[in-house]
Amino acid sequence: MKNLKLTSLGQIPEADIIFGDLTVFVGEQASGKSILLQLMKLILDADDIMQTLKKHGFDWHGELKNFLSLYFGEGMDGIWDNASTKIRVDGEAFELDKVLSRKRKKKSESLFLIPAQRVMTLKDGWPRAFTDYAIGDPYVVKQFSEHLRLFLETSLGVSEDVIFPKAHRMNKTIRDAIGGSIFGGAQVKLDRSGLRKRIILDVEGNQLPFMVWSTGQREFVPLLLGLDRLMPSGGARKKNNLNWVVIEEPEMGLYPKGITALLTMFLDLLKRGYKIIISTHSAQILNFVWATQLLVKWNAGPAPLLKLLDVNATPFSKELAKTVLQEKRFKTYYFSRDDKVKDISTLDPEDPDDAVADFGGLTAFSTKVSEVLSEVIRRGET
């Protein structure tokens, strides 16, 4: 998928998205970002989605509204109207009713979506099964949780208890950045001592259960497990047939250093060949995209980008930076409840369009602070 055009889907009146290697969505709450991301999953993985729903005992009885409720979630059956909702993928019409009625083919999923509600996936320190959720919970939450459960069941040996950090998963540069900024040297481990397995934090021998972790750690661990699943050992490999990685609000609960560590992981995903889409409310992420685009424009080498990320120059990190600067391109889109989705990819602070200059509103408050304080100082001086 290179281009997605749509009209009249949920809160989105119109969108024309051309995807980059890294595509960033910003905008107000309830402006349609999550709906569009779930739509992408549906377009690329419709057969796998329908087979998964059937496997777990769900049936929409051939009714479009029933399917919309099962997939997007309870109360979302009105977001799609066959009379007004129009979807085009690379110039070809996508008609959901025809997709639902066609003969399904066995097909592996192409897009891995890490939802904003990921903290819901851990119950008493263990990922919930697909059928542990209510019928009206969004499909992408159920499926992400099921992926984590199966990943933990299959990736750890009988006697292996350390989940993070593990020497044979992720590069040391990334492990050190995450370990220092988010876990403070603690280990994420599997506790097998009780009648049910659970994930715990081991802090110098003290085992901390899920509910006493910091908010940032609770938000980050499901994200970490999802990304770990995408980064098999072997350095530059992708996960099976997956081509797309979608991450909603990766910054939730994280201190700026943690977000910086996460950005380094994104570079690794890009180098492995994934196309990444992020929806975010973080000005830090947009500042990173803006700065990286300028570094590309100025033909900068890896050193400035690594400095930006607080990463030491190693063969691994220099290769990451070189790949991103020379081969990858970024796109940014602004979602508003009052207008069509807008391409703000230049992120030019001098642009007359406030949506571009303020990074989709993420820097508007800091700009206003500067203006107010400057005015106060000016008046004081006069």
Instruction: Answer yes or no: is pLDDT of 231 > 90.
Output: no
Local confidence band at 375 (pLDDT 50, 70, 90 cut-offs): confident
Give me the domain span that covers residue 104: 3-381
- For the segment 290-311, the average pLDDT, to the nearest whole number, is 95
Instruction: Answer yes or no: is pLDDT of 108 > 90.
Output: no
Task: With CA atoms as reference, report the closest residue to 86 among 2, 3, 1, 5.
Answer: 5
- For the segment 318-342, the average pLDDT, to the nearest whole number, is 94
Note the pLDDT of residue 6. 96
- Token code pair at residue 187: 């280990």
Instruction: Answer yes or no: is pLDDT of 89 > 80.
Output: yes
Instruction: Answer yes or no: is pLDDT of 382 > 60.
Output: no
Note the pLDDT of residue 168. 78
Note the pLDDT of residue 381. 62
35 CB neighbour count, 10 Å cutoff: 20
CB-based contact 126:163 (threshold 8 Å): no
CB-based contact 107:180 (threshold 8 Å): no
Omega into 250 within 30° of 0, i.e. cis? no
Q: What is the pLDDT of residues 37-70, one digit of tens each?
A: 999 999 999 999 999 999 999 999 999 999 999 9
Task: With CA atoms as reference, report the closest residue to 181 among 79, 311, 8, 298.
Answer: 311
Number of structural domains the chain divides into: 1
Residue 295: what residue type?
A: L
Note the pLDDT of residue 266. 95
CB-based contact 268:138 (threshold 8 Å): no
Phi, psi of 265 (to 5 degrees): -65, -40
Q: What is the C-alpha to C-alpha distance for residues 306 and 264, in angstroms, rounded to an integer?
A: 9
Q: What is the pLDDT of residues 184-202, one digit of tens each?
A: 889 999 998 888 899 999 9
Q: What is the C-alpha to C-alpha distance for residues 24 and 247, in angstroms, rounded to an integer?
A: 10
CATH code (residue 193): 3.40.50.300
For residue 303, give every residue at least 6 positions away whose Cβ sits within 8 Å of its Cβ, in sequence order, or none. 313
Task: With CA atoms as reference, report the closest residue to 328 among 13, 15, 36, 20.
Answer: 20
Task: With CA atoms as reference, report the closest residue to 336 among 87, 26, 7, 24.
Answer: 26
Omega into 315 within 30° of 0, i.e. cis? no
Q: Among 97-106, 239-248, 266-275, 305-314, whose mean pLDDT is lowest?
A: 97-106
Mean pLDDT of the chain: 92
Q: What is the pLDDT of residues 246-273, one digit of tens each?
A: 999 999 999 999 999 999 999 999 999 9
Instruction: Answer yes or no: is pLDDT of 237 > 80.
Output: no
